[in-house]
Amino acid sequence: MERDYSKMQRPNDVYFFATCLVDLFCPEAGMDAIQLLEREGIRVHFPENQTCCGQPAYTSGYADEARAVAKVQLDLFPNDWPVVVPSGSCAGMMRHHYPTLFAGDAALQAKAEALSARVFELTEFLVKVLKVNWKGSGKPAKLTLHTSCSARREMGTHLHARELLGQLAGVEVLQQSHESECCGFGGTFAVRQPAISAAMAGDKADALKETGAEKFVSADGGCLMNIDGTLEKRRDSFRGQHLASFLWQQTQGEKR
Amino acid sequence: MSTQPLQFVPGSEFKRRAAEVVANPFLRKSFRGAMDFLMAKRAAQFPDPELLERQRTLAEHIRRYSLSRLPQLLEQLEANLVKNGVKVHWAETPDEANAIILGICREHGAELMVKGKSMVSEEVELNHAMEQNGIEALESDMGEYIVQLAGEKPSHIIMPAIHKTKQQIAKLFEEKVPGVSYTEDVDALIQVGRDVLRKKFMDADIGLSGVNFAVAETGTLCLVENEGNGRMCTTVPDVHIAITGIEKVVEKLEHVVPLYGLLTRSATGQAITTYFNVITGPRRNGEKDGPKEMHLVLVDNGRTQAFADEQLRQTLQCIRCGACMNHCPVYTRIGGHAYGTTYPGPIGEIISPHMMGLAATHVLPGASTLCGACGEVCPVKIPIPDLLIRLREEATHDAKPGHAPLVGQGAGKSTFASLAYKGFAFLYSRPALYRTFAWAATRFRFLTPSNQAGWTVTRTPLKPAAKSLRELLAERRK
Amino acid sequence: MSARDKILGKLRAAQARPLPNPDDAVVAHYASLPRTAQDQLAQEFAEKITAWHAEVHTVPRGQWVDKLKDIVAEKGIRTLLYPPAKAHGKALEASGVAGLKPYDRPIDEWKQELFEGVDAAITGTRGAIAETGTLIVWPDADEPRLMSLVPPIHIALVDADTIVPTLYDAITAQGWSQGLPTNALLITGPSKTADIQQTLAYGAHGPKELIVLLLTGEASQ
């Protein structure tokens, strides 16, 4: 879905919605994302009451439970600042599905719509709003990029990630086969249909590895856990890294 | 041909059957190759994404408009067909549809029916019904013929025999067609089918076909095909019976053009098919060929249930191109048979619950990662992922107050899942409690179970980090 | 209550919101697409239908019968089915092409012969579509439906002046909705299938060969 960025001002403050996965399973990626934003001169606010966007319940058909969780998040962002989310599918949930989720309640729906308009996936925010222009100062790296499929389809995050990686000197992004294909995570799908999910995750791990890259990066915690968990079980040393961490690592020489 | 066991398998078998295919490297490779081929062919037809988007918007508009006037259009279609000399029948259920067709066959003392490709006839299991009553119902689409000869069901709505290799088909023909010796030459194999079926077209009493578009304003049935078997079925036998779902009607011929253009490009990556067969009635006085009698059977089979709800109604926009299955990463892994339904893949997951009830199909809406590939390629913009989520909800809950329950409403309820999501909601809607939980989960991460159900079969266990992000932030503030 | 009344009753009970008619959007869509210039139509049609595996011979209007004789000889056509009441049928009768077989009686009387004893058929067309390389075939009492289907070779006469840019043009400009035959046909190449391992094979059930005589130049008759 195309968004009009032309009228967006560079803000002084943003909210950071870490997502439950980043908070608990890859906090360093969240930290790196925050530092990336701060280096651009942005004050990053972390609402302490944040929990989860509610997606696991929503996509499983438990709308009431999703609403109960999402309702709490609606109250986290009182000021009219952008909300930056370091995970594509969670950003997509808040941006595209919150308004529908609260369709039965005019007041909450209005709130959800207002929030939806200022939710940004991290890479989108860096590219489209902050218009960062990095040079890259890290070690040369050959990598490949996996984007969450809902994020790429709902928000075009693959384009933003590619643009950021393209700015970095010495970083070569290799193209895997079936790039746009899902890694088989699908939230609870991985547990409900383990055989199919495993086949998809295995194929995805193969495709990423076959590029000859030294690692893959992704801006989605769920995909990372799925593919990395698969590789680790295979005792393969090939691994993924959260895009925010890779960006932070490769841009240490950048100034504000 | 022998009577085949044509009954559907229940949805509960899905998981086991899927696991079986996934474990078969030969099938995996063959589905992957076939889907890659179809995806590349489709992509080549749509080089301009902006134009494609305009075409899809227009097609969606036409389909939605047609559905918004469905009862009126059906009546108009019926009136005009009758004017053109076509007999129109209505069937609420598969049994009714089969009884109508059997009645027509009996009236003509029919022994042999040749069939053009019709997914609705698969849906009502017409072949089974005919054979039980001593009428040979022979598939004539090459893929359908092969599948029928093998005693199987189609595994794809456009490419029915996509799960079979030429070696398997060669062996099948050698075994089942008298006088045919083993050959892997595709032209020769097709010639075998041609020779067998030409005799059947000549001898058949009844020709049965599906319908791609029914035009209300003119009382016209449009059929899309490459082989010519559809034309044989609709032209050579004395009686032509067309069978279709009630949703296939559009108002005018002009509305068909954009839909047809998207159908063939989305399905097989062809700009057009060899034949576009536009039928407006049986043989007229003075004409030398064409059927002397023509029937249309309009089938409901659960479509009115989907129609009753504004969101679910979008399911009926489908023009049966199969692009959603070609692009589905799940279908690509498991093929069509695992679903156990007439329509496999994403469209099958959203339409089968209306046809077969949620009791038999509640697993299917869950057989998707919601990656969105299906919705992205759908030529009529059916929001398939949204409909999957909706059906997951209907499968696991009672009907909302004021809403009529779907057939099999709540059949997928599970105490465990229900408690799990209640627990999820309880924990994650209480920030203070969640913080305590996060603190405990990180502190006691060594207690994380190493067996995490389906997750750890092929993955290492999920383990919380030593400190949560909020803790790291708190430490930084100090 | 009949199944009809039950089905219609359920559909009506849903009270679907009326949606705007797409007619203007359809017109606007086709108006927005680039159009092939009039003088390019024949060439585009010939290229496209050739790509669909048809054989195209461009001949001056007055000389198609001669070309046809060559084709009959070259392909070894022993029996050529033709429509005796049509102008092109009469022209053929006058020409003395060998092996002519008129389609002059109902199929019921000679079905087996049609299926087993006819090598080729020749038909006219109502026009053709450049964009997709498609024949518009308009069967009637004098030129029945099966001519373009059963014989292994279908020879079609296309007058270059009747080629339109798109299917949409054909349907609107020729006013199809005002008078359709029992079986109008669009034909784009010979019969084909890719049902065995996605391998393309021609002559699945219909003609194995489609030969187009594209008639150009000044009318000579």
Crossing angle of helices C23-32 and B49-68, rounded to 10°: 160
- Residue positions counted in chain C: 221
Crossing angle of helices B14-22 and A194-210, rounded to 10°: 30
B2 has pLDDT over 50: no
Contacts of residue A2, defined as CB under 8 A and 6 or more positions apart, other chains included, come to none
Chains that touch A (3 or more CB pairs under 8 A): B
Interface of C with B in 50-79 (CB under 8 A): 52
Interface test with B, best of C108, C109, C195 (most B CBs within 10 A): C195
Give this prediction's pTM.
Answer: 0.96
- Residue positions counted in chain A: 256
* Residue B408 Cα, gap to closest chain A Cα (Å): 16
Same domain, A106 and A199: no
Sheet containing strand B206-209, strands side by side: B86-91, B293-299, B239-245, B206-209, B112-115, B136-139
**Is residue A196 one of the residues assigned to a domain?**
yes
Which among B312, B392, B399, B423 has a CA at the least distance from the CA of A59? B392
SS3 state at B68: helix
Average pLDDT of every residue of chain A: 94
Chains C and B: 3 or more CB pairs within 8 Å of each other? yes
C19 contacts B65? CB cut-off 8 A: yes
Same domain, A117 and A24: yes
B284 contacts C141? CB cut-off 8 A: yes
Task: For Cα atoms A184, A189, A193, give the angle at the middle one, nearest 5 degrees.
Answer: 90
Distances (CA, A) of A25 to A20, A22, A43, A231, B469: 8, 5, 24, 17, 9
B393 contacts A191? CB cut-off 8 A: no
DSSP code at position B137:
E
Which among A194, A193, A241 has a CA at the least distance from the CA of B456? A194
Answer whether C34 touches B (CB < 8 Å). Answer: no
Same domain, A147 and A238: yes
**Residues of chain B positioned with their CB less than 8 A from the CB of A225:** 462
B1 has pLDDT over 80: no
Which CATH number is associated with domain C39-216?
3.40.50.10420
B286 contacts C25? CB cut-off 8 A: no
C198 contacts B159? CB cut-off 8 A: yes
Which among A117, B311, A5 has a CA at the least distance from the CA of C14? B311
Query: With pLDDT > 70 as the criterion, what percentage of chain A qualifies?
Result: 99
DSSP string, A125-144: IIIIIS-------S--EEEE
C196 contacts B166? CB cut-off 8 A: yes
Domain ranges in chain C? 39-216
Same domain, A18 and A123: yes
Answer whether B179 touches A (CB < 8 Å). Answer: no
Question: Which residue range(s) make up the domain with A74?
Answer: 13-129
Spatial separation of the C-alpha atoms in residues C49 and C209, rounded to whole Å: 12
A178 has pLDDT over 70: yes
Contacts of residue B413, defined as CB under 8 A and 6 or more positions apart, other chains included, come to B395, B396, B397
Spatial separation of the C-alpha atoms in residues B246 and B70, rounded to whole Å: 8
Spatial separation of the C-alpha atoms in residues C81 and C134, rounded to whole Å: 22
pLDDT tens for residues B457-470?
999 999 999 999 99
Categorize the per-residue pLDDT at A189 as very low, low, confident or very high, splitting at 50, 70 and 90. Answer: very high
Contacts of residue B355, defined as CB under 8 A and 6 or more positions apart, other chains included, come to B123, B301, B302, B341, B342
Same domain, A50 and A24: yes
Which among B273, B247, B263, B373 has a CA at the least distance from the CA of B321? B263
Q: Which CATH superfamily is domain B67-304 in?
A: NagB/RpiA/CoA transferase-like (3.40.50.10420)
B15 contacts A195? CB cut-off 8 A: yes
Count of A-B CB contacts under 8 Å = 191
Other CB atoms within 10 Å distance of the CB of residue B192: 20
pLDDT of residue A3: 84
Half-sphere exposure of A103 (CA within 13 A, CB side): 5
* Residue C218 Cα, gap to closest chain B Cα (Å): 31
Spatial separation of the C-alpha atoms in residues A82 and A70, rounded to whole Å: 17
pLDDT of residue C181: 97
DSSP string, B174-236: HHHSTTPPP---HHHHHHHHHHHHHHHHHH-SEEEE--SEEETTTTEEEEEESSSHHHHHHHS
pLDDT of residue B314: 98
CA dihedral A230, A232, A234, A240 (to 10 degrees): 60
Half-sphere exposure of A50 (CA within 13 A, CB side): 27
SS (H, E, C) B376-438: HHCCCCCCHHHHHHHHHHHHHCCCCCCCCCCCCCCCCCCHHHHHHHHHHHHHHCCHHHHHHHH
B393 contacts A27? CB cut-off 8 A: no
Average of per-residue pLDDT across B309-334:
98
pLDDT of residue B307: 98
Spatial separation of the C-alpha atoms in residues C68 and C90, rounded to whole Å: 14
- CA dihedral sign of residues B308, B314, B315, B317: positive
- CA dihedral sign of residues B59, B62, B68, B69: negative
What is the full per-residue pLDDT of chain C (221 aa) written as tens digits? 999 999 999 999 999 999 999 999 999 999 999 999 999 999 999 999 999 999 999 999 999 999 999 999 999 999 999 999 999 999 999 998 989 999 999 999 999 999 999 999 999 999 999 999 999 999 999 999 999 999 999 999 999 999 999 999 999 999 999 999 999 999 999 999 999 999 999 999 999 999 999 999 865 44
pLDDT tens for residues B417-456?
999 999 999 999 999 999 999 999 999 999 999 999 889 9
pLDDT tens for residues B80-127?
999 999 999 999 999 999 999 999 999 999 999 999 999 999 999 999
C184 contacts B231? CB cut-off 8 A: no
Half-sphere exposure of B424 (CA within 13 A, CB side): 24
B393 contacts A63? CB cut-off 8 A: yes
**Is residue A135 one of the residues assigned to a domain?**
no
CATH label of the domain that carries residue A190: 3.40.50.11810
Encoded amino acid at C182, one letter: T
B455 contacts A57? CB cut-off 8 A: no
Which helix (H) or strand (E) segment is C168 a member of? helix C167-173
pLDDT of residue A1: 53
Nearest to B370 among A186, A197, A226 (CB): A186
Contacts of residue B294, defined as CB under 8 A and 6 or more positions apart, other chains included, come to B85, B86, B87, B239, B240, B241, B242, B279, B281, B282
Spatial separation of the C-alpha atoms in residues A119 and A97, rounded to whole Å: 12
User: For the purposes of burial, counting CB atoms within 10 Å of the CB of C23, is it exposed (0-12), middle (13-18) or buried (19 or more)?
Assistant: middle
C204 contacts B190? CB cut-off 8 A: yes
Same domain, A111 and A168: no
pLDDT of residue B9: 56
Residue of C nearest to B184 (CA): C196
Residue of B nearest to C166 (CA): B257
Answer whether C168 touches B (CB < 8 Å). Answer: yes
Interface test with B, best of A193, A242, A245 (most B CBs within 10 A): A193
Task: Report the first-to-last Cα separation within chain B, whole angstroms.
Answer: 82
pLDDT of residue B4: 36
* Residue A87 Cα, gap to closest chain B Cα (Å): 14
Average of per-residue pLDDT across B283-304:
98
**Residues of chain A positioned with their CB less than 8 A from the CB of B425:** 57, 62, 64-66, 68-69
Half-sphere exposure of C81 (CA within 13 A, CB side): 29
Count of B-C CB contacts under 8 Å = 247
**Is residue A136 one of the residues assigned to a domain?**
no
Average of per-residue pLDDT across A99-106:
94
DSSP string, A18-57: --HHHHHT-HHHHHHHHHHHHHTTPEEE--TT----SHHH
Encoded amino acid at B194, one letter: R
**Residues of chain B positioned with their CB less than 8 A from the CB of C89:** none
pLDDT of residue B10: 62
Q: Identify whether the C-beta of residue B392 lies closer than 8 Å to the C-beta of residue B365.
A: yes
B11 has pLDDT over 80: no
Interface of B with A in 440-459 (CB under 8 A): 441-442, 452-459
C184 contacts B278? CB cut-off 8 A: yes
B438 contacts A27? CB cut-off 8 A: no
Chains A and C: 3 or more CB pairs within 8 Å of each other? no
* Residue C54 Cα, gap to closest chain B Cα (Å): 11
Domain ranges in chain B? 67-304, 415-477
Answer whether C15 touches B (CB < 8 Å). Answer: no
Residue of B nearest to C190 (CA): B274
Spatial separation of the C-alpha atoms in residues C56 and C65, rounded to whole Å: 15
SS3 state at B340: coil
Same domain, A65 and A160: no
DSSP code at position B149:
H
Interface test with C, best of B54, B101, B146, B190 (most C CBs within 10 A): B190
- Complex ipTM tops 0.95: yes
Same domain, A71 and A115: yes
A62 contacts B421? CB cut-off 8 A: yes
Q: Identify whether the C-beta of residue C169 lies closer than 8 Å to the C-beta of residue B256.
A: no
Contacts of residue B209, defined as CB under 8 A and 6 or more positions apart, other chains included, come to B115, B116, B117, B118, B223, B230, B233, B234, B240, B241, B242, B243
pLDDT tens for residues A40-54?
999 999 999 999 999
Nearest to B458 among A60, A154, A202 (CB): A202
Contacts of residue B150, defined as CB under 8 A and 6 or more positions apart, other chains included, come to B164, B172
Which among A185, A174, A172 has a CA at the least distance from the CA of A89? A185
Categorize the per-residue pLDDT at B12 as very low, low, confident or very high, splitting at 50, 70 and 90. Answer: low
Contacts of residue B344, defined as CB under 8 A and 6 or more positions apart, other chains included, come to B155, B156, B157, B325, B331, B335, B336, B337, B338
A61 contacts B390? CB cut-off 8 A: yes
Count how many domains chain A has. 2
Sheet containing strand A171-174, strands side by side: A171-174, A141-146, A215-218, A240-242
Average pLDDT of every residue of chain B: 95
Spatial separation of the C-alpha atoms in residues B166 and B158, rounded to whole Å: 18
Same domain, A158 and A235: yes
C182 contacts B159? CB cut-off 8 A: no
**Is residue A87 one of the residues assigned to a domain?**
yes
DSSP string, A177-231: TTTTS--S-TTTHHHHSHHHHHHHHHHHHHHHHHTT-SEEEES-HHHHHHHHHHH
pLDDT of residue A155: 80
Between residues A45 and A159, which one has the greater pLDDT?
A45
Spatial separation of the C-alpha atoms in residues A182 and A205, rounded to whole Å: 11
C192 contacts B276? CB cut-off 8 A: no
B395 has pLDDT over 50: yes
Encoded amino acid at B98, one letter: N
pLDDT of residue A158: 87
Spatial separation of the C-alpha atoms in residues B464 and A134, rounded to whole Å: 32
- CA dihedral sign of residues B101, B106, B108, B109: positive
Task: Report the first-to-last Cα separation within chain A, whole angstroms.
Answer: 31
